[in-house]
Amino acid sequence: MRQSLKNAKRLVIKVGTSSLIHPNGTINLSAVDELAFVLTDLKNQGKEVILVSSGAIGVGMHQLNLAKRPTSIPEQQAVAAVGQAALMNIYAQRFMSYSQQTAQILLTRDVIEYPESRKNVINTLEQLLDMGIIPIINENDTVAIDELDHSTKFGDNDQLSAIVSQLIQSEVLIMLSDIDGFYSANPTTNPSATLYSQIHEINDELMAQGTGPGSAFGTGGMSSKLKAAKRIFSFDSSMVLANGKRPKIIFDILNGDDIGTFFKKEEN
Ligand code: ADP
């Protein structure tokens, strides 16, 4: 089934904060650079690529020299606003070194509930893709606070990336996380957990295996990824959850290699 990935033309790539920020809080420049290289090359091959990137608060904390994430929502929003600009600056620079133009899109998840907004978002994304530009999307943290955790965790974009995939009818959503894929239990606490190569149905048993706290930097953990997969199934698309340590892994995923966890509804 993974062979269908070879022909995927429209892709959404989602990177979590843990793929972009080192554990000590500084920016993982090699990851950002590799991402720019890989996505530009895919676009040059004739694919249409959209990046959904977290990391605004992480970069903002670094910019403002904050050792600890602030606790209040307005402070987090302020840090995210600083970080979003800095993050885009880094992306724009790195992509430009491969002569690739990027664009920033900030969205709230409710765009799909308002036909007019929905149409405008689709039009903008379609136009950017048509112009060969790589859109870089993040949740608009100033407007939407549901992704900002009230206490210790970083914002994430699992649902937003699935919504974007649905809006532009992408053939695959590649989610890069800090883990190799979806396991039968949390592998960081359960060493006997085994990796699923493929998942064809999101049922309660699976949901139970994905509950529990996420990584230090993430928000959603696995239940949020499974929820995203459910949306992906709803329009018969596919999703791959894989480790974002080496973004070049995207080439192998699109080659149909057995990497990470492949989510696709069983074909009749
Ligand atoms: P990211 O922010 O990189 O997208 P998250 O922190 O949201 O990632 O989720 C990844 C984390 O989820 C893993 O590091 C792991 O600790 C935790 N986890 C919980 N249950 C599972 C499971 N069944 N399979 C894989 N990871 C799991």
Q: What is the structure's pLDDT at 2?
A: 92
How many other C-beta atoms lie within 10 A of the C-beta of residue 197? 13
Q: What is the structure's pLDDT at 217?
A: 42
Amino acid in the structure at residue 1: M
- Average pLDDT estimate for 82-86: 96
Is 141 annotated as ligand-binding? yes
What is the 163 CA–ligand 1 centroid distance (Å)? 20
Distance of CA 191 to the CA centre of its chain: 26
pLDDT at 7 over 60: yes
Q: Ligand 1 within 6 A of 188 CB?
A: yes
What is the 221 CA–ligand 1 centroid distance (Å)? 4
Whether residue 139 contacts residue 149, with contact meaning beta carbons closer than 8 Å, is answered with: no
Q: What is the structure's pLDDT at 215?
A: 43
Q: What is the structure's pLDDT at 147?
A: 55
Q: Say which residue, 220 or 204, is predicted with more confidence.
A: 204
Is 146 annotated as ligand-binding? no
pTM of this structure:
0.93
Average per-residue pLDDT for the chain: 90
- Average pLDDT estimate for 245-268: 94
Q: Ligand 1 within 6 A of 16 CB?
A: yes
| Domain residue limits, the chain | 2-264
Q: CA nearest 262: which of 239, 233, 232, 228?
A: 239
> Tens digits of per-residue pLDDT, 130-163?
999 999 999 988 887 665 554 333 346 999 999 9
Q: In the block, which residue shows the tokens 């900002």?
A: 148
The atom of ligand 1 lying closest to the CA of 212 is: 19
Pick left, alpha or beta for residue 65 (phi over 0 → left; psi -120 to 50 → alpha; otherwise beta): left
Is 212 annotated as ligand-binding? no
Q: What is the structure's pLDDT at 146?
A: 63
Instruction: Determine the Cα–Cα distance for residues 136 and 52; give it in Å rounded to an integer.
Output: 6
- Average pLDDT estimate for 244-252: 96
How many other C-beta atoms lie within 10 A of the C-beta of residue 176? 26
Instruction: Determine the Cα–Cα distance for residues 28 and 42; give it in Å rounded to an integer.
Output: 21
What is the 185 CA–ligand 1 centroid distance (Å)? 10
- Average pLDDT estimate for 83-110: 96
The percentage of the chain sitting over the pLDDT mark of 70, rounded to a whole number, equals 91
Q: Ligand 1 within 6 A of 260 CB?
A: no
What is the 255 CA–ligand 1 centroid distance (Å)? 25
CATH placement of domain 2-264: 3.40.1160.10
Of 35, 158, 174, 215, which is best to mutate to test ligand 1, by the most ligand atoms within 8 angstroms of its C-beta? 215
- For atom 9 of ligand 1, the residue with the nearest CA is 221
Q: CA nearest 15: which of 210, 154, 142, 112?
A: 154
Task: Quickly state the pLDDT bin for 220 (edges 50, 70, 90).
Answer: low
Q: What is the structure's pLDDT at 5?
A: 96
> Tens digits of per-residue pLDDT, 42-71?
999 999 999 999 999 999 999 999 999 898
Q: What is the structure's pLDDT at 218?
A: 42
Instruction: Determine the Cα–Cα distance for residues 246 and 53; give it in Å rounded to an integer.
Output: 15
Whether residue 225 contacts residue 209, with contact meaning beta carbons closer than 8 Å, is answered with: no
Is 130 annotated as ligand-binding? no
In order of 147, 155, 159, 228, the CA distances from 112 in angstroms are 17, 20, 12, 15
Q: What is the structure's pLDDT at 212?
A: 57
Is 177 annotated as ligand-binding? yes
Least confident of 125-134, 171-180, 185-194: 185-194
DSSP collapsed to 3 states, the chain? CHHHHHHCCEEEEEECHHHHECCCCCECHHHHHHHHHHHHHHHHCCCEEEEEECCHHHHHHHHCCCCCCCCCHHHHHHHHHHHHHHHHHHHHHHHHCCCCCEEEEEECHHHHHCHHHHHHHHHHHHHHHHCCCEEEEEECCCCCCCCCCCCCCCCCCHHHHHHHHHHCCCCEEEEEECCCCCECCCCCCCCCCCECCEECCCCHHHHHHCCCCCCCCCCCHHHHHHHHHHHHHHCCCEEEEEECCCCCHHHHHHCCCCCCEEEECCCC
pLDDT at 11 over 70: yes
Q: What is the structure's pLDDT at 245?
A: 92
